[in-house]
Structure 1
Amino acid sequence: MAIRPIGIIMNGVTGRMGHRQHLVRSILAIREQGGLVLPDGTVVRPEPVLVGRNADRVRALAEQHGIEQWTTDLDKALADPANEIYFDAQLTQVREPAIRAAIAAGKHIYTEKPTAESVDAALELSRLARAAGVRNGVVQDKLFLPGLRKLKRLVESGFFGRILSVRGEFGYWVFEGDWQSAQRPSWNYRAEDGGGMVLDMFPHWQYVLEQTFAPITSVYAHTATHIPERRDEAGRPYPATADDAAYGVFELEGGIVAQINSSWAVRVDRDELVEFQVDGTEGSAVAGLRNCRFQHRAGTPKPVWNPDLPATEPFRGQWQQVPDNEEFDNGFKAQWEQFLAHVVADAPFPYDLLAGAKGVQLAELAQESARTGRRLPIPPLAH
């Protein structure tokens, strides 16, 4: 078998998501399985090059995982022709200039989202990549979750009939950092550092709704900062200037109405940290991270509202589980493999920088909606 090494500059993987999901569970996992085998028998072997601003942290991460190449000099990494792909998991506010530099260096681009702080900047990145002829992709990991893949299977089978509505609940309690340490970094709650629920999660909801159901035609959003003060990693109090909760109503093509509540100030009373309920004329389903249960119209109970008597219907017991019927790999790893095949073998890859710009557009319009109290249409994006 022909071995095809490919250097991947990984910038920002000292952070939690970049480290756990992209480095350990994706790139290193692909290496540990012997590489990615393409249909023609070629084995693609990723060669990660770790890049970060803190030399001690990057060195420690490289030593922890036995990675030989690391640097704090991005320009040096970009100048090496062996490095063909640039991956970015940095803070949003420093992502755009780094991607610009990588495009100018002729590297293929794979990046976390949001791709930029404004839709104009996100569109410019897409245009630059297209003009440079480099392949480009944006992480859309939620599409690869087992629960949402099962839900997509139901949609494609026509199970729902005409889809009427989608209701999503996402979130959990993020501790304030006083009597228990916070599970998320403090910058997430500072608007000046690019934090906020809308900017973080609405790009996800954009591709989940569009790829699973239909394109979004309008958005109405209400945001809140429920916890006004938190403590940072050193235990120092700081004002929370970013929204920690967002409540959105989205209209989709075909008359579908979607409602998604997102909050870091909510306690979980559901089976998984995110769940979507889809109701249609022929049936309904509830999908989470891993599981998806459904109820056909023929098995739908006929409850009657009576507040004077306890409920007698075992409502949850009347749903069925969608079977796995296949093995589900880590979602981040699965998308990395698709992108590597896209770069090396020209395999299809629809999740490009233009798709990423749509997520930034939705977040930007949702923030405007929250400021003005208006429902806003989603105009098409010109490449």
Structure 2
Amino acid sequence: MRPTGIWHASYATEARVLETVRSRLWLSLFGAVLLGLPLMASPWMLGELTNLFITLIAVCGLYVTVGMAGQINIAQSAFVGVGAFTAAKLSNMGAPVWAVIPAAALITGAVSVLFALPAARVKGFYLALTTLAAQVMFPIVILALPMSWLGGLVGMPVMPPVLFGLNLGTPSGLYFLGLAFAALAVWTTYNLPRSRIGRAFRTVHDNDSAAGVMGIPVTRIKIEAFFAGALYAGVAGAILAYMLQFVTVSSFTLFASVWYLGMLIVGGLHSPLGPILGVVFVTLVQEGLHTAGNAILQSGSGLGGGAVFAASSLVLGLCILAALIFEPRGLAHIWHQLMTAFRLWPFPRN
């Protein structure tokens, strides 16, 4: 439900994401807090937030491919890995950060097209297997290439990012780098559904047969959906490479791809707010479980690290399962219900 007392005189005002002055003020305040956070946060906290921003960028790309276009993708971690290795290679060649990140995005998008071509002809379970093949092939290809190319099993170092003489390799520098691109990813994610290609994504998601009858090039739209989602993954991989300072194939696993998809499902597949809520919720649960696991290991209970890790993964999986059972439409739906109740208060809903 939209706020009361709002009259739109043009389509541009009606298409605004933030319709009221109050919502714009809250967003400005939140942005000011994020910009001022490095002044008071510890390096560990900045690192955790940077990792959250990177994950958010990758999940936003998954929202475009899965949530908007309905194309199942279980290889987002592999695409993030392509962006990371691209950034590592280009940084070692002396390329500046302002050229590395766009190049990593475009190369990742080009790689995704190779798997989108067969995926455009299949649906459902077979589409999931096609993207799973990309995830499985990623480490095989990296290890099969000459070590001088991408480091092979050893991996590759990454040169610190430098922008106009300013070193961004510090915790605060990486934080601002991740924040800037995360804000850009969220902005594009919110505005893409309002564009022509975004409406085509939605149409193909709802019924690709009807979309074809309406004149929409279904195959091209599906390929473009994979390409657009991979652009986000390439940016996330490049920033992750700068953060890790060393990239190996072991950092980009099927396990990570499943968690990316789980975050999107928990947050909400069909709302641009879903990636934000899903990433924040799952990250908070993960950090809470890691803190509890470390406390158990230090207490001398006799449990090994493997048992604690397995228990943490089990609890996290149960949390996600409970979220799906009690609210299959995701946390975004709960948020919209709360906002509707707030706008209707104190009047009854029925």
- For the superposition of Structure 1 and Structure 2, which TM-score range results when normalised by the shorter chain? under 0.3
Higher relative contact order (CA 8 A, sep 6+): 2
Which structure has more strand as a fraction of its residues?
Answer: 1
For normalisation by structure 1, the TM-score amounts to 0.25
Which structure has more helix as a fraction of its residues?
Answer: 2
For normalisation by structure 2, the TM-score amounts to 0.27
